[in-house]
Structure 1
């Protein structure tokens, strides 16, 4: 081809413009392929950021403009068209990607997600958590998930492409890659799980078959303890810091360290009555004196916003929670570690809790101690350096459990014993039986997914 022909084609084919603002008629493309730019919204000037957000509904929170590039490319697709991008997969796991996840779930299909975190996917070395993601303008069908290592090569990629084209095939292994075909993708704008293809297949299977741990129908609730806004003022080991009915025994992280609940003597100086109303300090002179010794309480935003209620904690205290048996979990730990608090204590905000009106809490504790529960947490939660997991309520609610009525007396006894003995292996064997997991899937549970 002559230079002149090449220049003419370039002028015809290439447009130099802002892809997120340039006017292009929707549904004009059969295929969109790209590696979009990574620019945080915070790095844009205010006018540009505001215009992008007003134009593309998925660009919310403190995200990255590649989210808008994906939405724009999807909007251009003809029926049956596809978007294939290699870019960071963080939008699948973070809150700022919720709008895009919801859009994809409602109107498009996920066809491929090939995770390539350890592959030199770009000419220069970058820490971008890349993945090849293919989305299509059609109804959701099966989806291929692949997890690669540094050994992933051109020949492995070619073999994976060939395998992906045969809908009758479920599993694939080659040098540097493992893949699995899921019957469908995950619904809604919730976080999309991560992990090995086999682990994702198990999570999807259990998600389809069982209800959430947090379920109003079983009277089971997952939540977080009380945030005070100033622990120095509200948390004390002095039982006489205020009037006796204002001193609420408080469950804290150190009470769980041994695997059984061992109260270390902390109290919450509680400004709330049994009906959830803020008490009048004039009725409690000792508590008033205690709070007066912490003048910083009046400097908090919540106090300045309502000076007459300056002595309130950030969260209300719900009196009926105190007496209930609770499974308590630390916020950050490498493995799920539920501990039974038999009742009489209120959880602090560094603890998450599970209460239920239908479950035997020791049986449920056995299920949560198992590697089945661990698999859900690893699939959804943020992993910190050193392998520490964040056990937040949003991730705990992702755990699926069988109905309490489906657990036989014998199985309940085994789960109860495993929980009391802190025996993860026994809990996992019993839980696998409760979930109806076959031996092949059980092998997936015993091999941990690790990713920093």
Structure 2
């Protein structure tokens, strides 16, 4: 798992021995497997989990279960066979396409660090095959999501599954079907693993422990700071992270920031900033009607925390082929802009949204919600050492994709919210809950910011009560 630093072996990063041993302990509930049990190592690589399993059982004197290793990579499978051929059966092939008979029957336990292969790196042919076979293969699914469904299909009733995967399945839209599937079973535990667990690989690991049984109670969640909370997970496919964060939030006296916002989102994704973002001084008179002040995450840092954007200090503008209503301009209305963009037409036509989704060649990667963008809003960089928030009081700036923005439902909350967000308590809360990027930076993503609790007393000062 871990997307960065995975270049050669198609999404596989070997599980560190200490983590593998920790997961084996969870697999067997701290005890030993019953005699005659069958264990599947799904995507075994060189056999890190087999090694951990043998070490675990040696220390407890437990009977060795029947172990089956499934691995798609022939070279890795051969290494596993040489190391553990005497105690484990190694099966070479795509586990996702195997039947239970090929594996010798159903299993009592499944353990895995599934390969993390993004949607873009799965061939179109395999995507189509997986969509036919798996209910969770919806939207822009990642490969590891399918391993959950496959493992559950291979487990006997009451069997246990322990996976380490990226945590993002808790909240991304593409995992909605997966969350709905998992919530139909007993998700016993979620453990947020230290992001340094995989060494130099930048990862946000999560251990999922579940049984193939009906849900019977709350899920125990272990946070990265060691605290534990009990959570009732949504069963309708909704993101799980809000429920997890709510489980540790103070009761009463506050309102989630997401309820106070009309929109919380990343800035505009053009798909070619080098074309659409240009120096302000270089814009010809005929293109100024399409030009909006724009700001990047790096540029925000030049302003004082909590201060208003000074448009005069913004050196670039974004050329926007959309009306203020957010509708893409037709070629007649966008004529002067298209004449300028035509020199970059080949590069624009090579974008995914044009080739695969059929968007007009001059459209942005994502259609910008201009009615919300062009309103007074709060801005912050997507990555920062310390959370810092700024004000676009006039609402004229179009943030780039490296900037997040929040549009309050009640504009009277604009300044009180910025003051609150720049407070020390909020900074500590975000530092405890945000994902870590490289070199100690924080990822200030919208799904975390929405969960901040805003004191009701602050809202009373402007008579804002959207929670009622």
TM-score normalised by the chain length of structure 2: 0.57
Offset, 1:341: 1.1
Q: Structure 2 CA distance, aligned partners of 1:128 and 1:276?
A: 35
Deviations 1:67-113 (A, max 9, x none): 525653377454xx3524254464645746543322122x1232223
Which of structures 1 and 2 has the bigger CA Rg? 1
Match of 1:131 among 172, 183, 207: 207
Deviations 1:252-289 (A, max 9, x none): 43145322223323333343344445557777886566
Contact 1:328 1:341 in 2 (8 A): yes
Match of 1:345 among 386, 396, 419: 396
Q: Structure 2 CA distance, aligned partners of 1:74 and 1:287?
A: 54
Residue equivalent to 2:232: 184
Matched, 1:358 2:410: yes
Offset, 1:203: 4.0
Residue equivalent to 1:329: 380
Moved more, 340-349 or 55-64: 55-64
Offset, 1:348: 2.6
Contact 2:186 2:214 in 1 (8 A): yes
Residue equivalent to 2:444: 391
Stretches of structure 1 that go unaligned for 5 or more consecutive residues are 1-5, 122-126, 149-176, 195-199, 413-452
Stretches of structure 2 that go unaligned for 5 or more consecutive residues are 1-35, 37-62, 69-88
Residue equivalent to 2:322: 272
Contact 1:40 1:64 in 2 (8 A): yes
Match of 1:56 among 134, 148, 153: 134
RMSD of aligned residue pairs (Cα, Å): 5.0
Offset, 1:354: 0.8
Offset, 1:333: 1.2
TM-score normalised by the chain length of structure 1: 0.59
Residue equivalent to 1:257: 302
Offset, 1:327: 0.2
Match of 2:177 among 96, 99, 113: 99
Matches within 5 A, 1:49-448: 54-58=132-136, 61=140, 63-64=142-143, 67-68=146-147, 72-73=151-152, 76=155, 78=157, 81=158, 83-85=160-162, 87-88=164-165, 90=167, 92-93=169-170, 95=172, 98-105=176-183, 107-114=184-191, 117=194, 129=205, 131=207, 133-135=209-211, 137-146=213-222, 178=226, 180-185=228-233, 189=237, 192-193=240-241, 203-206=246-249, 212-215=256-259, 218=260, 220-234=262-276, 235-238=278-281, 241-243=284-286, 244-253=288-297, 254-258=299-303, 259=305, 260=307, 261-263=309-311, 264-265=313-314, 266-278=316-328, 287=337, 291=340, 295-301=343-349, 310-316=361-367, 320-321=371-372, 324-349=375-400, 350-359=402-411, 360-370=413-423, 373-374=426-427, 377=430, 381-397=434-450, 399-402=451-454, 407-409=459-461
Distance verdict in 2 for CA 1:240–1:102, change over 3 Å: same
